[in-house]
Structure 1
Amino acid sequence: MPRSKPVPGADPDRWRAFAVCLLAGFMTLLDVSVVNVALPSVQAGLRTSSAQLSWVVAGYTLAFGLALVPSGRLGDGLGRRRMFLAGLAAFTVLSMVCGVSVSGTWLVCARLGQGVAGGMLTPQVVGLMQQLFQGRERGRAAGFYGAMVAAATAVGPLVGGLLLRAAGSADGWRWVFFVNLPIGVVTFALAFRLLPQDGGQRQAARLDLAGVVLLGAGVAAIILPLIRAEDGRGHVRWSLLGLGPVLLACFVGWERHHRRRKGSALVDLHLLRHRPYAIGTLIGVVYFAGYTGLVFVLSLYFQRGLGYSALAAGAAGAPFSIGSSISAAFGGRATHRFGRPLVVVGTFTVALALVGMGLLVRHHHRAPMWLVLCGPLLVAGLGSGLVIGPNLTLALQRVPPTQGGTAAAVLQTAQRIGSAFGLAVVGSAFLGTLAASHGDSSLAVRRGLFISAVLVGVALLAAVADVLGSTRGRRQAAS
């Protein structure tokens, strides 16, 4: 983190406080992917059913997504420091509960609670970023945030593989959760000392319970069938996917009614009238679909197709997180200068790298694939670092700091839906092709990479449309 500069009125501990936020955010996001590697160990140790094993991952993802918006609203009202500390404490304790589980049911219930705690904490990270930084500094902070998101997503399998190898396959899965305890305790102590006080001017946070229920039901109706499709087990109720938009439309109608009657709402729908926020949310949905699908399909390819261990598969995907970490810092600093064209360059680079990977797999499938894909993965990571952080900064640039948590939570919920969609579509394409082609993993991964490239291409088109629209608007204003 950069040294704090004497900015008038700014918190002198702002960069250290934000580093603590990033550490907590990394821990919660890492738990989305790191547990995947430990599932065989969980099944052997607890003798869980297939349904329980599925919900160890799906329960966390779903609870996390459902908690985001209410928690963002509570953070804006009650205070982000309070919500951050409460979420971090709950996440740490529930990690211990997960680690000492004696049955599949115990573990599933603990994972649901852990997901809620992670969803409580995550919106406060971006809300505090909005509160602590202004102007160029906010862009730099968003760059670090983007690097954290990319690293947490990409290195999960590697971290899980290392923990299982160190602790052994029998009870190694428990250490996937126990490792959160020292991190959580240290992070809580630092956060208690460094995070800015909420102050006494905070308004009472009265949650619109009907809005919470409608929004939660709509998000769940969309995410649940996507999770089931990704998992590949059991019957997928696609009718729920059609019900989701209906419930979300009811949520929008209710929020408008509630705002007229009560003067407040769970989500200020006027946010979507801000072009940067609306475009940023759209880009977040489709980019995270392609980006998460890429990480997932490569993990499947390395492990199921090429027979890599979880540790080796994680190491093979490391160039992506390295590239993203390198470019995210530059992207954060350059956002204020270049704006949305930076996202255009990033999405174009990722899409091009994905197409290149597909061609390399097709023509060099007999070579060591970790070596063949190392370069394109690094390039894709470099492009990704120019997307996540800058898009976040641009989306939130006109959002008042008092609404930062709620606005971030809505954006992150949209990204969650995008990630679930990408995992379902890309994962189903890989596994379906693998079965239909009698084990041709080269063909399966090429189709998965192509779908990911199309999704990133949609994000590219949205970014280009925004740049063209902004240019046309400036010309009209000048004339």
Structure 2
Amino acid sequence: MGNVSESVMSAEQRKILAVMLVPMFMSLLSVSIVNVILPDMQRSIGASNSAIQWVLSGYTLAFGVFLVAAGRAGDLFGRGRLFVIGVGVFAAGSLIAGLAPDPLMLNLARIVMGIGSGLLSPQGVGMIQQYFHGKLRGRAFGMFGTIVGVSVGIGPVLGGGLIAILGDEWGWRSAFLINVPIALIAIILGRLWLPRSAWVGSDTAADSDTASADAVSNDTTSNGTASDEGASPDRAPNGDDRTRADFDPIGILLLAVGTLLVMLPFLERSLGAWIYALVPIGAVVVIVWVRWENRYARRGGSPMVDMQLFRTRSFAYGASLSSVYFVGMPGVWVIVALYLQNGLGFPALEAGLIGLPSALLSAAGAQAAGRVVLTFGRKMVVLGVGIALTGVVASALIVLAHETWGISIWWMLASLGVLGIGQGMTISPNQTLTLAEVPVEYAGTSGGIMQTGQRVGTAIGIAVVTAVFFAFQSLAGYSAAIIAGFTVIALIIIAAGIIGVIDLGRGRKKAARAEELAKS
């Protein structure tokens, strides 16, 4: 780490985290805050159920489609540059959404917000990889996990509070407009606080581990290599004439089309069963994309995604676990809001408050886990998934007991709090372990891949869980609907846990082989 302490963050590192985490919190909050303002939004602009679903999923779709390409662009052109652009795009979309007169304008604005989030998010992960090492990286990802957990839990509370204070009309609009001044401040601080090395591509000499760490304090390397300011961003690291701006447009197009084809059937189910034929077509396009990336690399190009990343087992297993986990977890807050508001008649603020303990416990769990993740490794992630599963099952049992014996539904404060603890122990430790062996020059791309899986999983999961919820609601009422939704979520979390257990077993076998070799 050069002149930066291994255990104490420097002032420069704290500034980097502040600049990154506030806009990332804002972009993730824009997913969860919508859950509680949906009914007022729908009445205000006369939106249909299909249009309202696009408010939820259209944002996540755009978010997911842009992540990998944005991560690649950050690696090539500078993560700070893409981060600030993304924050600006997000602010513009938020302004339009807050003033939208009809469902079409609102949905277009949400897509613009999703594009902005897709641009900024992988840069944050990439800069954590670039400027934090060892235990400090675990702590930084712990703070990132805190942001994720708090944004999920606090969004409904904030949305409900804004509606209670400002009324049905301007309450939901302010949930978007509040992003604009925050984004403007983040842009200004980004220009002032991000180090010079954040504004050039990671193929320069200053992006080695040593240089990246030292650049936090003095923007120069400690071994006599060129400073970031003097390095040329237009040449490949081996000094040949190939420009770094090899953006692989065909690879970008193939991945975007494949992602859209896989996700659209879950977003537009009303078009009929035939639309699910797009899923296998999308899968074929993704396979073609993989083959293209490999061929592009063999021909000497710089592919959008280096498929060698997936040969790193910790990355492959961790990204898979994260993707599956996010298929289930975000749906919890959607169906809880629907059940409390539409089924039990709770006002928006009360419906939002039920997730507050979960947010606080998730934040505390992520902070604690970030400090010890390198000590306990994948065991902590598996334990976190198990605790999250316990919270989901307990929540379903509380609903059943409420409907059967009349116990207070507010007992869900406790069960969702258990869920929050599990979430804090799962997300940030998994992020740290998944990216631990990834070279820093792939930090933005690998972060984009991981977050793409999360966003695609979120979009598909919300579509599936809400479809199950509404199907059971029409047949047997809201209590049966939320129990069915919790059941689907529990099965998905179990699948994520199985991936974690497999990776844990792989790690133990690897350690045992290394111990045997050391003894021989």
What TM-score does the superposition give when structure 1 sets the normalisation length?
0.93
Does 1:396 pair with 2:395? no
Partners of 1:39 and 1:372 in 2: CA distance: 24
Partners of 2:37 and 2:7 in 1: CA distance: 48
Deviates more, 1:32-41 or 1:308-317: 32-41
Does 1:459 pair with 2:496? yes
User: Compared with structure 1, are the counterparts of its residues 217 and 477 closer, same or farther at alpha carbon in structure 2 (3 Å cutoff)?
Assistant: same
Deviates more, 1:24-33 or 1:350-359: 350-359
Partners of 1:455 and 1:411 in 2: CA distance: 18
Residue matched to 1:133: 132
Structure 2 letter corresponding to 1:150: G
Residue matched to 1:294: 332
Partners of 2:153 and 2:232 in 1: CA distance: 40
Deviates more, 1:99-108 or 1:61-70: 99-108
Q: 457, 466, 469: which one pairs with 1:430? A: 469
Deviates more, 1:444-453 or 1:356-365: 356-365
Deviation at 1:477, TM superposition (A): 2.9
Partners of 1:9 and 1:38 in 2: CA distance: 41
Q: Which residues of 2 match residues 40-439 of structure 1 at below 5 A?
A: 40-48=39-47, 51-197=50-196, 198=199, 199=228, 200-203=231-234, 204-229=244-269, 233-235=270-272, 237-365=275-403, 366-367=405-406, 369-437=408-476, 439=477
Q: 479, 496, 499: which one pairs with 1:442? A: 479
Residue matched to 2:215: none
CA distances 1:123-181 after superposition (whole Å, capped 9, x unpaired): 10101111110011101111111111122122222222222222222333321221112
Q: Could you tell me whether the CA contact under 8 Å between 2:28 and 2:151 is conserved in 1?
A: yes
Q: Which residues of 2 match residues 2-13 of structure 1 at below 5 A?
A: 6-7=5-6, 12-13=11-12
Deviation at 1:417, TM superposition (A): 1.8
Deviates more, 1:294-303 or 1:71-80: 294-303
Deviation at 1:368, TM superposition (A): 5.3
User: Compared with structure 1, are the counterparts of its residues 356 and 96 closer, same or farther at alpha carbon in structure 2 (3 Å cutoff)?
Assistant: closer
Deviation at 1:183, TM superposition (A): 0.8
What TM-score does the superposition give when structure 2 sets the normalisation length?
0.86
Partners of 1:398 and 1:467 in 2: CA distance: 16
User: Compared with structure 1, are the counterparts of its residues 42 and 306 closer, same or farther at alpha carbon in structure 2 (3 Å cutoff)?
Assistant: closer
Aligned sequence identity (%): 35
Q: Could you tell me whether the CA contact under 8 Å between 1:364 and 1:372 is conserved in 2?
A: no
Deviation at 1:234, TM superposition (A): 4.9
Stretches of structure 1 lacking an aligned partner (at least 5 in a row) = none
RMSD: 2.2
Deviation at 1:51, TM superposition (A): 4.9
User: Compared with structure 1, are the counterparts of its residues 327 and 113 closer, same or farther at alpha carbon in structure 2 (3 Å cutoff)?
Assistant: same
Partners of 1:208 and 1:35 in 2: CA distance: 35
User: Compared with structure 1, are the counterparts of its residues 461 and 328 closer, same or farther at alpha carbon in structure 2 (3 Å cutoff)?
Assistant: same
Deviates more, 1:264-273 or 1:180-189: 180-189
Deviates more, 1:312-321 or 1:416-425: 416-425
User: Compared with structure 1, are the counterparts of its residues 130 and 335 closer, same or farther at alpha carbon in structure 2 (3 Å cutoff)?
Assistant: same
Deviation at 1:213, TM superposition (A): 1.0
Deviation at 1:422, TM superposition (A): 2.0
Residue matched to 2:513: 476
CA distances 1:421-452 after superposition (whole Å, capped 9, x unpaired): 32122222222112111x1x222222211221
User: Compared with structure 1, are the counterparts of its residues 362 and 181 closer, same or farther at alpha carbon in structure 2 (3 Å cutoff)?
Assistant: same
Q: Could you tell me whether the CA contact under 8 Å between 2:384 and 2:425 is conserved in 1?
A: yes
CA distances 1:188-209 after superposition (whole Å, capped 9, x unpaired): 1222111122234435332111
Q: Could you tell me whether the CA contact under 8 Å between 2:381 and 2:429 is conserved in 1?
A: yes
Deviation at 1:59, TM superposition (A): 2.6
Q: Could you tell me whether the CA contact under 8 Å between 2:324 and 2:457 is conserved in 1?
A: yes
User: Compared with structure 1, are the counterparts of its residues 165 and 368 closer, same or farther at alpha carbon in structure 2 (3 Å cutoff)?
Assistant: farther
